[in-house]
Amino acid sequence: PIKRGHSIRAWVNVIYGCNEHCTYCVVPSVRGVEQSRSMEAILQECLQLAATGYKEVTLLGQNIDAYGRDMTPRRTFADLLHYLNDNLPNNTISRIRYVTSHPRYFSDRVIDAVADLAKVCECFHVPFQAGDDQVLRDMRRGYTYDSYMNIIRKIRAKAPDASICGDVIVGFPGETEEAFQRTLDLMEEVKFDNLNTFAYSPRPNTEAANWENQVPPDVQSDRLQRVQALAAKHALERSERYVGRVVDVLVEDRNPKNRNEVMGRTRQGRQVFFEGDVDELKGEEVMVEIVEARTWSLVGKIATS
């Protein structure tokens, strides 16, 4: 059976495999080359999910911006977003998210789609992995600090209220303290809404695992703690912009820590807790006034019109 993850939110694969060969990653050798599913098959799966009560889908791909480049005629990921937005009837799937983008292939048309299409949520997940250009070359990522920041500037210009999330690896082989500082510089410049942080660990059958310039575990641990502290600081700053605003929240479940509260997410993906009856509100979109910001979540109350 396909793992969905939740009764309101579902994962939907749109492209399998990966043609990249990042020096730390085992995916290409495990999952093979990229294979895109047809737009029609993806739409049918989304419609079947909607018929069983799902309200939100997250489109999945290891490198989702590569969607369609293996097809004839060639398609793009932006084409898929437009197709789903235009062909999913109202009152079926109301929110579309996706992961994961690759900065090397990131397209202006995807930014436009996220900014303009009603069903596509204003949320970008763009892993940067490192801030130092030499480390990025060693990782074989195919972009630089400046080209990554150029993507961020375009997102901020076209979709200023969108959330920007990322992934970072610290302690990659050969990463000096100076190189690590470039990661902190990039974080300060972007201020991510959410950042997945990892200390590098060697994976079997990957190039970097065999290099002799491995970073000692204590140095990795120190850098990981520093990025996590900075990521939490930025996340709270990004949460604080919601206070006093009324936002659209898709209710997913009961708050496990308070049975009188429900939990849902904003279109930008921020978790929101507020008082309400889960049996009445689950699967509904509710206008909520935000009264408190936390690092990774928000507290609100149902807005009175």
Mean local confidence (pLDDT), 279-283:
96
Q: Dump pLDDT digits (tens) for 229-260.
A: 999 999 999 999 999 999 999 999 999 999 99
Specify whether the CB–CB gap between 273 and 297 falls below 8 A: yes
Confirm if 254 and 262 have CB atoms less than 8 A apart: yes
Compute the distance between CA of residue 261 and CA of residue 59 in angstroms, rounded to an integer: 29
Of residues 131 and 1, the one with the higher pLDDT is 131
Q: How far is CA 100 from CA 18, 128, 282, in A?
A: 12, 11, 27
* pLDDT tens-digit series, residues 166-181: 999 999 999 999 999 9
- The pLDDT, as a whole number, for residue 272 is 98
Q: What are 181-221's pLDDT values in tens digits?
A: 999 999 999 999 999 999 999 999 999 999 999 999 999 99
Query: Would you give the DSSP letter of residue 3?
Result: -
Residue type, 88: L
Q: Give the separation between CA 66 and CA 64, rounded to whole angstroms.
A: 5
Give the predicted TM-score (pTM) of the model: 0.95
Nearest-CA neighbor of 63 among 141, 158, 147?
141
Task: Tokens for 15, please give them.
Answer: 């492209």
Q: Is the pLDDT of residue 1 over 60?
A: no
Percentage of residues in the chain having pLDDT higher than 70:
98
